Amino acid sequence: MASFKIEGGHKLSGSITPQGAKNEALQVVCAVLLTPKKVVIDNIPDILDVNKLIFILGELGVKIEKLSPNSYCFQADEINLEYLESAEFRRDGSSLRGSIMIVGPLLARFGKGYIPRPGGDKIGRRRLDTHFEGFIRLGAKFRHNREESFYGVEAVELYGTEMLLDEASVTGTANILMASVLATGTTTIYNAACEPYIQQLCKMLNSMGAIISGVGSNLLIVEGVKELNGCRHRVLPDMIEIGSWIGVAVMTQSELTIKDVSWKDLGQIPNVFRKLGIQLERKGDDIYIPAQESYEIQNYIDGSVLTVADAPWPGFTPDLLSIVLVIATQAKGTVLIHQKMFESRLFFVDKLIDMGAKVILCDPHRATVIGHDHKSQLKATKMTSPDIRAGISLLIAALSAKGTSIINNIEQIDRGYENIEARLKSIGAKIERIKD
């Protein structure tokens, strides 16, 4: 186990290039299982969750060549399906939520896919029903071993069908999409997720020879093909990390440039930060954040308190709500944070309250934040990271706090952020990794 020791209260400066998107990488890396041909993927982030998935693919028999620190060549021409029913897979797969997305491609190409009950963080329930209901609609038979918490689907052949998803699940849409590209006939997926991650997966699959239309909408139409070819694909910059760097700049009252952000894929993110009073300037494909002594939360036109809530894309991503909450602690004004999609993501506010923030936790989904307007600095404390996004939010709070903070369980942060302490040091942060 390791911890971060952070000396807060220092101004930062310089530029940062965001890593590749974790959520996209987990999907497109699974897609390599759909073809025996070589697939090259660039801009893969070097983080625990993605590395774990690449390890699982290697154990499954995928030939993996690391071309550079963030580029890999995959070839899934000799797959060992026996590994799926092994104790090793049960151990490896259960520690990673993203491992669920190997089921769709395996089912499509080999007629069967198994998965142990996925693990991950403590942000609340993430149902798998959407995934398996989609596979069943395509003609697969479902197997569930309750004692061993093991799920499986099998099919001689998959057939295109019409389906209406019960929720716009990103991983569910990705999984069903990958299963349906090799199915016989046409599949329509309504209430599909349409996040940039899904659009990127569609773009990759189409470049491999799939026929998917409606990309970017909530109605995807997939015409099944017999086989897919190889391709080269580049992962988008991580919009969650971009939001995190905005949080770092604002809370430390620093001037920062975030490079190559792919503005067109940021959706509501710049608008939401601007509603909090934060100045963001677009410079080419970069975000420039000037040093801001104060920022004021906007009210609605009728004078009522601003609500920032998450919603399926093109709404605001739930992954950035914890960052927004931390930023609001030093804003001028009041905001209601409404976390609709997960029930345990706001529990980290207890630590912010310990640090001196004015936050009222209304219920598991809502918190009211009354900003200090930088009149009162947060104070350092010792805390534990419960999940990736809360972890980075506490890290941002610690960077702005007076004194030295300790954050334990930083493996949760490592799951989603590449080499975070070295990158923070490069812009002037006082942070070090210590072994427990």
Q: Which distant-in-sequence residues (6+ apart) come within 8 Å of 82 by Cβ?
A: none
Beta strands 211-213 and 219-223, pairing class: antiparallel
Beta bridge partner(s), residue 116: 150
Q: Which of the residues 121, 238, 265, 414 is marked catalytic?
A: 121
SS3 of residue 431 by DSSP:
strand
SS3 at position 91: helix
> Which two tokens mark 265?
């894929």
Beta-strand runs (E) in 278-378: 281-283, 286-289, 306-309, 334-338, 358-363, 366-370
**Residues 83/59, Cβ–Cβ less than 8 Å:** yes
Residue type, 217: S
- Is 121 marked active-site? yes
Dihedral (CA of 53, 54, 56, 61) sign = positive
> Is the omega angle on the peptide bond into residue 290 within 30 degrees of 0, that is, cis?
no
Please count the CA atoms within 13 angstroms of the CA of 62 that sit on its side-chain side.
Answer: 28
Classify the phi-psi angles of 231: left when phi > 0, otherwise alpha if psi is within -120 to 50, otherwise beta: beta
Residue 153's closest CA among 190, 228, 202, 102?
A: 102
Pair 243, 323: CB distance under 8 Å: yes
The token duo for 398 is 């610690």
Q: What tokens were used for 286?
A: 């970069």
Please answer whether residues 180 and 187 qualify as being in contact, where contact means their C-beta atoms are separated by less than 8 angstroms.
Answer: yes
Active site residues: 121
